[in-house]
Every structure is written in C-alpha cells, then in structure tokens.
C-alpha cells in the first residue's frame, strides 16, 4: 500500500486595485512515508521478495509566486 499526503497553502496580496501577488507553498509526501518495492519476478528465486528500492517519491517542497495584473 502506498501512503502519500500532499498539501498546499497560499496567500494573495493586493498590490493595487488590479494587481495582486500570490505566494504559494506545496508539499508532496509531507509525512515522508516510505513504500518499499519488493522483487516480484517468481522466475528469479534469488531476488523474489527482496526489497529492491523505494516505489514512491521522497518529500518534495516547492514554492511559487504568481503575479496577476
């Protein structure tokens, strides 16, 4: 099972009547859960069931600004 929790927050700021700036932060896999991938090839008994890596992405944070005129 893959567990993943994503969230984002943003705040708009008015510059003038027609212009605004939005600051935004997005966090993917915020709790940093790891989902391990096991070997599933039954024709390779030496690696069947062994953990071969991570199947989901680690925590990722991105920031952004959006200027509207």
Where along the chain do its domains lie?
7-68
pLDDT tens by residue, 13-61: 999 999 999 999 999 999 888 888 776 667 777 777 777 777 888 899 9
Compute the distance between CA of residue 35 and CA of residue 14 in angstroms, rounded to an integer: 42
50 vs 6 pLDDT, higher one: 6
| CA end-to-end distance (rounded Å), the chain | 44
Compute the distance between CA of residue 61 and CA of residue 56 in angstroms, rounded to an integer: 15
Measured over all CA atoms, what is the biggest interatomic distance in the chain, rounded to whole angstroms? Answer: 68
**Backbone phi, then psi, for 63, in 5-degree steps?**
-120, 150
- Predicted local distance difference test score (pLDDT) of residue 26: 97
pTM: 0.67
65 vs 50 pLDDT, higher one: 65
Q: What confidence category does residue 68 fall into, taking pLDDT thresholds of 50, 70 and 90? A: very high
């Amino acid at each position: 099972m893959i567990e993943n929790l994503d969230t984002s927050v943003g705040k708009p700021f008015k510059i003038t009547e027609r212009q605004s700036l939005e600051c935004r932060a997005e966090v993917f896999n915020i709790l940093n859960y790891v989902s391990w991938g096991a070997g599933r090839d039954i024709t390779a008994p030496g690696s069947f069931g062994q953990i071969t890596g991570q199947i989901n992405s680690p925590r990722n944070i991105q920031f952004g600004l959006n200027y509207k005129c």
